[in-house]
């Protein structure tokens, strides 16, 4: 498939990623569900995909890679995305010594990274986070809890957002916290889809001032800039799953016979797939437009990222649901592609800002 609006370089990147992606399910299948698959990280590195992200991160690169990976191997896509999300705050705002310490290991697939923002009492209302960072000598002591954290509790380093003053979003500071920090512990969380996600507990964990990402009380901007960067590519991840579901449905309805003719001959079936194909392409254009806007350095792109994530994730959910419906009961069997996608496709409508939050961002821009 060729997307005429993509540059030749991005079309080439997409083709390369597709070729890599078809080789990755075998490696993904050897991992333990719910834990970091380090051989998979190494494979993403050896094929140049992690290196493509750093040190010059492009939102469009992210979108092209994530959609292509998701079409063939959602585990590889998730591993790739979690590395990017956790690393970007370090790259965006870390001191040179922090970047030099972690970036080579991350790019080589040797270090796993987590993005630690969400807390038990601060999900959609992320500005309400309570994890405290109290000054102590030349550093800070962190106390509190994080939940639904990528690559926890096994990550080698986390981008952690903590409260340094009682000033709402202007009282949050970001830190790069090694996973082996004394006073830091965690547990796995079991979700519908077995991703490496867990909770973290900070018990008087010390981090030096050099580990700050940006300035004191400047962490909210780091978090929001990271999410603006990654939200279009969450849409791209969803698009890959939606496209995989549509492709499966088209193949099935060509071959499956009912009442003496293929399912494709029934308009009740084929027109549903036509609607899905149209929505997927519209979502793809939204995703790529938001990514291009971010990469251009435009001052305000949050509403475009929100539109892209909202429409793409909602569309992908519909695509998978329609594909299951035209397959019938066989798609519900454990191990079927669509059973897998049905579990995978639900979470993107929640993480990195639920659909309701995206609508709020878009509405605020309308009245700005």
In the chain the domains, ranked by start, together with CATH numbers, are 8-107 (1.10.540.10), 113-218 (2.40.110.10), 221-366 (1.20.140.10)
What pLDDT does residue 1 have?
63
User: Of the candidates 291, 163, 167, 185, which has an alpha carbon nearest to the alpha carbon of residue 239?
Assistant: 291
The C-alpha R_g of the chain, in whole angstroms, comes to 21
Checking DSSP bridges between strand 261-262 and strand 132-136, what pairing results, if any?
unpaired
Residue 352 appears among annotated catalytic residues: yes
Q: Encoding tokens for residue 362?
A: 């878009």
Q: How confident is the model at residue 307 (pLDDT cuts 50, 70, 90)?
A: very high
* Residue 165 to residue 171: CA distance in whole angstroms: 4
User: What's the rounded mean pLDDT across residues 130-153?
Assistant: 96
**Mean pLDDT of the residues in the chain:** 94
Asked if residue 57 has pLDDT above 80, the reply is no
279 Cβ contact list (under 8 Å, min separation 6): 315, 318, 319
Asked if residue 104 has pLDDT above 90, the reply is yes
Q: What is the phi/psi pair of residue 208, to 5°?
A: -75, 160
Q: What is the four-CA torsion angle of 289, 290, 294, 297, rounded to 10 degrees? A: 50
Which of these is catalytic: 110, 154, 352, 356? 352
Q: pLDDT tens across 257-266, in order?
A: 788 888 887 8
Q: pLDDT tens across 276-294, in order?
A: 999 999 999 999 999 999 9
Residues shown for the chain: 368
C-beta separation of 200 from 116 below 8 A: yes
Asked if residue 18 has pLDDT above 80, the reply is yes
Helices (H), 200-266: 219-255
């Amino acid at each position: 498939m060729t997307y005429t609006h993509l540059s030749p370089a991005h079309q080439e990147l997409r083709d390369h990623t597709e070729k890599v992606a078809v080789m990755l399910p075998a490696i993904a299948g050897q991992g333990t569900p719910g834990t970091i698959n380090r051989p998979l990280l190494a494979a993403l590195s050896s094929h140049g995909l992690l290196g493509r992200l750093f040190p010059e991160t492009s939102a469009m690169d992210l979108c092209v890679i994530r959609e292509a990976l998701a079409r063939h191997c959602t585990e590889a896509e998730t591993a790739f995305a979690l590395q990017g999300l956790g690393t970007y705050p370090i790259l965006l705002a870390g001191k040179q010594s922090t970047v030099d310490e972690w970036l080579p290991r991350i790019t080589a697939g040797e270090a796993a990274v987590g993005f630690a923002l969400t807390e038990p009492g601060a999900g959609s209302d992320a500005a309400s986070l309570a994890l405290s960072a109290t000054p102590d000598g030349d550093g800070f002591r962190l106390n509190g809890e994080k939940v639904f954290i990528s690559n926890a509790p096994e990550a080698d380093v986390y981008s952690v957002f903590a409260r340094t003053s009682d000033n709402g979003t202007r009282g949050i500071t970001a830190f790069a916290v090694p996973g082996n920090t004394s006073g830091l512990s965690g547990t796995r969380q079991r979700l519908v889809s077995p991703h490496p996600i867990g909770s973290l507990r900070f018990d008087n964990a010390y981090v030096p001032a050099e580990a700050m990402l940006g300035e004191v009380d400047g962490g909210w901007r780091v978090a929001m800039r990271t999410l603006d960067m990654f939200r279009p590519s969450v849409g791209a991840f969803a698009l890959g799953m939606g496209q995989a579901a549509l492709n499966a449905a088209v193949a099935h309805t060509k071959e499956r016979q009912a009442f003496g003719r293929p399912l494709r001959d029934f308009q009740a079936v084929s027109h549903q797939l036509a609607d899905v194909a149209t929505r997927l392409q519209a979502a793809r254009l939204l995703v790529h437009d938001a990514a291009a806007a971010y990469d251009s350095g435009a001052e305000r792109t949050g509403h475009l990222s929100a539109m892209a994530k909202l429409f793409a994730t909602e569309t992908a959910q519909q695509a998978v649901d329609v594909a299951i419906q035209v397959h019938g009961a066989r798609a519900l069997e454990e191990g079927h592609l669509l059973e897998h996608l049905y579990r995978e496709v639900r979470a993107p409508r929640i993480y990195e800002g639920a659909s309701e939050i995206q609508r709020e961002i878009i509405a605020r821009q309308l009245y700005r």
